[in-house]
């Protein structure tokens, strides 16, 4: 019995930490889309439509249900004329939601940007294109 307790105490804290999800996960819970960027007092933000619970169809019907996950963050990295997004998930906590928040872009020059899901690599999935007005 002590061994079981030791395993649980070592594994449980790491499970609670936010975890960046791959494109295959996003696809399994219904997909992801973006809207046009909007200006806020903190710079630009990119509205994102994604629900990690798997109960909402965004681009296609979900294949996986995750009642025990929430979307903790939507990260964005702007490189040249592209925006690379990733979402992080974690365990439920007070005020958390399975619906992903907008990505904070900060200060970005006007122009047309291609939006991808994933790190800045050749295997990023193209999501779409947005225009940042002057």
Domain membership flag for residue 2: no
Q: What is the Cα–Cα distance from 124 to 131, expressed in whole angstroms?
A: 20
Question: Is the four-CA dihedral 96, 97, 100, 104 of positive or negative sign?
Answer: negative
Average pLDDT over residues 23-49: 96
pTM of the model: 0.84
In sequence order, the β-bridge partners of residue 129 are 114
Q: 36-45, 69-78, 102-111, 116-125 — which is least confidently predicted?
A: 116-125
pLDDT surpassing 70 at residue 4? no
Domain membership flag for residue 65: yes
Q: What is the mean pLDDT of the chain?
A: 89
Confidence (pLDDT) at 76: 97
> Within a 10 A sphere around the Cβ of 110, how many other Cβ atoms?
9
Domain membership flag for residue 97: yes
Q: How many domains does the chain have?
A: 1
Of the candidates 18, 43, 45, the one whose C-alpha atom is nearest the C-alpha of residue 34 is 45
Domain membership flag for residue 8: no
pLDDT surpassing 60 at residue 33? yes
Confidence (pLDDT) at 16: 60
Domain membership flag for residue 16: no
Domain membership flag for residue 13: no
Domain membership flag for residue 89: yes
Domain membership flag for residue 66: yes
pLDDT surpassing 70 at residue 96? yes
């Amino acid at each position: 019995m002590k061994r079981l307790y030791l395993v649980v105490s070592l594994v449980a804290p790491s499970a609670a930490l936010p975890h960046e999800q791959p494109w295959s996960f996003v696809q399994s819970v219904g997909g992801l889309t973006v809207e046009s960027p909007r200006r806020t007092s903190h710079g630009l933000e990119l509205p994102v439509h994604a629900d990690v619970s798997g109960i909402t169809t965004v681009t296609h019907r979900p294949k996986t249900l995750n009642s025990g996950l929430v979307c903790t963050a939507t990260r964005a990295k702007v490189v040249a004329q592209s925006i690379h997004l990733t979402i992080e998930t974690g365990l439920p906590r007070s005020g958390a939601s399975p619906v992903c928040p907008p990505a904070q872009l900060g200060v970005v020059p006007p122009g047309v940007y291609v939006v991808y899901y994933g790190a800045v690599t050749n295997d990023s999935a193209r999501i779409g294109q947005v225009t940042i007005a002057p």
